[in-house]
Amino acid sequence: MDKLVANVDEAIAGIASGMTLMIGGFGVCGIPENAIAALAKTNVSELTCISNNAGVGDFGLGLLLKDHRIKKMIASYVGENDEFERQMLSGELEVDLIPQGSLAERCRAGGAGIPAFFTPAGYGTEVALGKEVRVFNGKPHILEHALTADFALVKAWRGDRAGNLIFKGSARNFNPVMAMAGLVTVAEVEELVDNGELNPNDVHTPGIFVQRIFQGVNYVKPIEQRTVRSRG
């Protein structure tokens, strides 16, 4: 089975205004930067984006945020994007903040076909407002619903034409669980190989979860937060 598409524009074809997107990555690590940059050149808007965070000002989801293409962010962290913070505090952007583990599990549950689950994370905080509470083993848990998306955009280190993916190091982060939960999953890879070249034991995401794959270009390694010290 060959799921290779010619280029990034073909890969994101069909993404329309008002859709829900899952975007893999953690900070600026392992994000589908080619797909996001191509999406920023279209006229889609009113998006709901599910992502751990929103990148930085001019990179990753920051490209969509600064042009007000995103209507709602479902995320666990907002700290490194000043525009994200500004839009949230001003009420321009709807934000649903979720504990990081709960966000990962809600994505995984969506891909596994589990509609909801109970977790102790967030009980006694604003996260629990309006949610069902049950006690298990003497401890209160809140009901969280699974997350799915119209499109999931993920990035892998290596992949083959059948859509099998291998993630490298911490770039594995949210990518595997989000790849499972998209109605259409688009994978960009740093290295594309022919079918049969990947060791099946090394595959993190089987190709059954991926509908489109393409080889990205011009990857950069931005530093999200640089800390330096003077010479003593």
Closest CA to 155 of 214, 81, 224: 214
Q: What is the pLDDT of residues 74-103, one digit of tens each?
A: 999 877 788 888 899 999 999 999 999 999
Question: What CATH number is given to the structural domain containing 202?
Answer: 3.40.1080.10
Would you state the structure tokens that stand for residue 125, as one six-digit string?
A: 């905080």
> Rounded to the nearest 5°, which phi and psi values hold at 35?
-65, -40
Would you state the pLDDT for residue 138? Answer: 97
Residue % of the chain over a pLDDT of 70: 97
Would you state the pLDDT for residue 229? Answer: 79
Amino acid at 76: S
Q: Is residue 177 domain-resident? A: yes
Q: What is the pLDDT of residues 1-21, one digit of tens each?
A: 899 999 999 999 999 999 999
**pLDDT band (50, 70, 90) for residue 224:** low
Helix (H) / strand (E) containing 139: strand 139-145
Could you give the number of structural domains in the chain? 1
Q: Is residue 123 domain-resident? A: no
Q: Is residue 132 domain-resident? A: no
> Which 3 state secondary structure label does DSSP give 43?
coil
Mean pLDDT over all residues of the chain? 93
Bridge partners of 198? none
Q: Is residue 195 domain-resident? A: yes
Beta strands 133-136; 139-145: pairing state: antiparallel
Would you state the pLDDT for residue 81? Answer: 82
Q: What is the pLDDT of residues 119-161, one digit of tens each?
A: 999 999 999 999 999 999 999 999 999 999 999 999 999 999 9
Beta strands 139-145; 182-193: pairing state: unpaired
Q: Global pTM?
A: 0.92
**pLDDT band (50, 70, 90) for residue 31:** very high
Beta strands 165-166; 47-50: pairing state: unpaired
> Rounded to the nearest 5°, which phi and psi values hold at 63?
-65, -40
Q: Is residue 179 domain-resident? A: yes
Q: What is the pLDDT of residues 46-66, one digit of tens each?
A: 999 999 988 777 888 989 999
> What is the domain range of residue 100?
10-115+147-215
Taking the C-alpha atoms of residue 210 and residue 81, their distance in angstroms, rounded to an integer, is: 30
Find the distance separating the first CA and the last CA of the chain, reported in whole Å: 60
Q: Is residue 32 domain-resident? A: yes
